[in-house]
Chains A and B, each alone.
Chain A
Amino acid sequence: MIIVPQEFHDKANGQVIHPIAGLYVSFEKQLAGGVDFFTLDESVLDGVDILDSDNHEAIQLWDRYDYKDYSDRLVSMNVSRSFEFPYTVQSALADFTVNNYDDLFTPDYTPSPLSAYNLPARPLRLYAGFDGLTQIAQFVGVTEDMPDINIKSKTADYHALDFLTQIADQTLNQVIDMRNVTTDEVLEQIVKQFGLSESQYQFEHGTNVIPFVFFDIGQDAGEAMRNLVQAEGGKMWLDESGILRFQARSLGDDWRKNYQEVEYLESTGTQYIDTGLYGNLNTKVNLKGMQVVASTNGTFSPFGYYSDANTSLTINLSMNSSGRTSRFGNKTFITTNVITANSINRVTTTKDEATINGVAYNLSCTTQFTTPQPMTIFRAKGIDNGYVNGTMRIYSCMVMDGEQMAGNFVPCYRKSDNVAGMYDTVTRHFFTNAGTGTFNVGPNTGFTPGTFNLSPYSIVDIKPSGTSDMVNHLIINADVREVQPFEYVYVKTKPKNDSVTEEWVIPPNATNYVVSCSLGDPCYNVVNPTLGKSTNVSWFTARKEDLTAVTSGVTATGTLTNNSYDISFKNNNAFAVEIAELQLYGEPAKVTNRVEVDAKEDESYTKYGDHLLEITDNEFFQNTPATRDYARFILYQYAFYNVSLDVQIKGDFSMQLGDIVTLQDPIYGGGYIIDGIEYELTNGYMTTTLQVHKYVTPDYFTLDEDLLDGTAVLA
């Protein structure tokens, strides 16, 4: 719910309702500071420039354009936004009609001051509210195409898309190649390609850890985002004010009623969280943190338990040239200068390897161990006795025991007494400071759904969906790929009988002769090949037409794509050379497991037949327990008769997707989550239609109380 005064809600539900709307458009696409951005005859028509300019910051400018007020011209508007089931990525659309009595909006009408600028992809904002009160934002986006001009009625009709829809319509312009990352990290890489700065988006820390992600240039950005958000069980949307938001998997948990999520928790050095979790061979840790003020020995030690024995699990990273040792059981790795103060670090550690800001360190631990004490956040307990930890921020911390989530620690404070700590969405326990002093907290974040109570005097009509939106059977299949240690991922042997394969013959003095090598598995990394046989590197040999070896003058530069490695050869010789042998050394991401979940809601299945949702094309379901929970959650929400309703109401512009409405109705009464909102305002008459689905609070899995594979859902 957009925060508005109570008077706003009162006016929305009054006897006489006076809705108003505002339209602001930046036809000229000038920045508010007066800096010209759009340049005629240089910018590409049809809006490409807004997404990708030379400085790659075009799309982030939506809040910096100089918007002019065309509210006086607004005849009607229709704004709709909805979560697209089953992906829960929002799309928002706006249609509006403006008074065009003087042909101001008529394209190519040269007397109009807008004639040169009335083009597709013009940024616009729509506001709405009630007379006497400040209007609130309803839509931020761009016009999709040229206006439709109605000569008889002297009006112009525009259709607009929000910026998220605009991004989703694009293809990726850079390769994304990541390992051991959470959903938000991948989403961040995607939206940064379209020029968004960190102030333009607010992403919660995802709970789905993806072992390997590879997106090639040209892949559909919308599909990538939809699949990521679906596998997370989260939501992604552009809010009414233009901030792109990602809500991680919360599965309807209402812990945010009592706790306010914050961006980070900050320890001055003496505060820490005791997780109560003991580390062992199956432990996986995913943490996002920052050392603000360096500790006395220049170490970033945000997590774990440390001793010199082989029972430690410690993240202990160096901020200077002195080597610092991280431990996982009896294995260690040493870092120097891997952390700088005041920058956010993402750390993942498993028995196989640790990944520090995308760089992998081998561990290969195989020996069972258990830490003698629980692991701690903000310090590696046991390591901190000789120095001061320094000021540190933790943004998120997730601990897994094998594939099972053991702890998901979210920075927050308790609303009742403002005590800061971390809420564990797995055990549903609030962890407070186990040290001395008090934690500092970052800015409030997260999405707290608003609640609306709709009496019969607020409801105009209800249309139930019957079984059309029902899902009582879910099948999810996906291959789990994990990055393997370096090995040879492509081998070209010397041709038999000394025959020549034309595609491997590099012409004399060729500067860019490209050969594509098909890979058996997608790779995280491939070492660039060099001329001459060697070991543990990529290499190739070359020869002349007379089969004599060529030992110089041939170089290669490789580019990794989704399932191939494209090598550009340069031949400085005045004669043609044949690439005789080639071996590529890389880290393949091989299928190591398969997620196969087939879940039914038996009662609904028996009563109403099979209403199947089959997901077999989403590679981001990488964890069977989490996928089972996703399936249970969908069944909880969608296995009902009349699971969704279209409800026409006396609208309140402060409603947002994800808000909860309670319908007071003898048949359809109860709590529902808003999946879609459509406002139409014509000549002062407002029609508001909500798409809602039944709000069911899952019975959450509680450690030591619930049975695994029972009906309770892991949060």
Chain B
Amino acid sequence: MAITLTISDTTDTQVYNVIAQPLVSSPIINERDVETLDGNISTYYSSTKQALEVNLGYMTADQYANLLAFRDRQYQNMKYPTITISNAQNIAVEQMTMKLTINEQRIVSRCGVVEDVVVTLRESKQL
């Protein structure tokens, strides 16, 4: 079963096959240590949030335009999209609200094919 990335917002839903590797998961642990007088530490912890880097490889110009539209609608609608990652071991992302950013656009053909498309996703709460 192929790993898939589903991006959804109020306007559109797209499913992408994650062919390129790797799919990088780097959870953000919001914490800070404090050292007490006896030299020990305690940790103030507030949250753990999922953060992913998904390499989608090549995209046609139309596919890439759809992806850009998700990114831009975040700022128009003031809402992040909903993300689902399927079939990836040890990654539990289902209908998760995540901020979406896209790496630089690398056009490699006259018809607008883009290579090395990397989507960065950061979990947050939908207000």
Contact = CB atoms under 8 A, between A and B. Distances in A.
B35 interface: yes
A609 interface: no
A665 B42 contact: no
B111 interface: no
Interface string B38-62: 1010111111000000000000000
Contacts of B44: 17-19, 684-686
Given A72-B127, A683-B30, A684-B31, A461 B37 contact: yes
Contacts of A685: 32, 44, 46
A448 B38 CA distance: 31
Interface string A440-457: 000000000000000111
B36 A18 contact: no
Given A72-B127, A684-B30, A684-B31, A460 B43 contact: no
Contacts of B32: 684-685
Contacts of B45: 16-18, 684
A15 B46 contact: no
Interface in A50-101: 72-73, 99, 101
Main secondary structure of the interface of B (DSSP, over half): strand
B34 A460 contact: yes
A451 to B, nearest CB: 20
B51 to A, nearest CB: 16
A693 interface: no
Given A101-B78, A684-B30, A456 B37 contact: yes
A461 B36 CA distance: 7
A663 B83 CA distance: 50
Contacts of B35: 460
B46 A683 contact: yes
B42 A650 contact: yes
A102 interface: yes
Contacts, number: 60
A224 B78 CA distance: 51
A458 interface: yes
B37 A460 contact: yes
A233 to B, nearest CB: 34
Nearest to B41: A15
Contacts of A684: 30-32, 44-47
Interface string A17-29: 1111000000000
Interface in A3-44: 14-20
Assign chain B's interface to a size class.
Answer: 10 to 19
A2 interface: no
Most buried by A among B30, B37, B43, B45: B37
A459 interface: yes
Contact of A17 (B30, B43, B125, B127): B43
Nearest to B47: A684
Contacts of A102: 78, 127
A73 B127 CA distance: 8
Interface string A676-694: 0000000111100000000
Contact of A15 (B37, B43, B125): B43
Contacts of B127: 72-73, 99, 101-102
Contacts of A18: 44-46
Nearest to B78: A102
A532 B67 CA distance: 98
B109 to A, nearest CB: 38
Contacts of A99: 127
A14 B46 contact: no
Interface in A486-509: none
Given A684-B30, A685-B32, A457 B40 contact: yes
A72 to B, nearest CB: 6
B37 A459 contact: yes
Given A72-B127, A684-B30, A456 B42 contact: no
A11 to B, nearest CB: 11
Interface string A102-145: 10000000000000000000000000000000000000000000
A458 B36 contact: yes
Contacts of B31: 16, 684
User: Which of A14, A101, A685 is the most central at the interface, judged by chain B CB atoms within 10 Å of its CB?
Assistant: A685
Given A72-B127, A683-B30, 10 more contacts: A15-B42, A16-B45, A17-B44, A17-B45, A72-B125, A102-B78, A102-B127, A457-B36, A457-B40, A684-B32
11 contacts: A14-B42, A16-B45, A19-B46, A72-B127, A101-B127, A456-B37, A457-B38, A460-B36, A461-B37, A650-B34, A684-B45
10 A-B pairs closest in CB distance: A684-B46, A456-B38, A685-B32, A456-B37, A459-B37, A685-B44, A16-B43, A102-B78, A18-B45, A457-B36
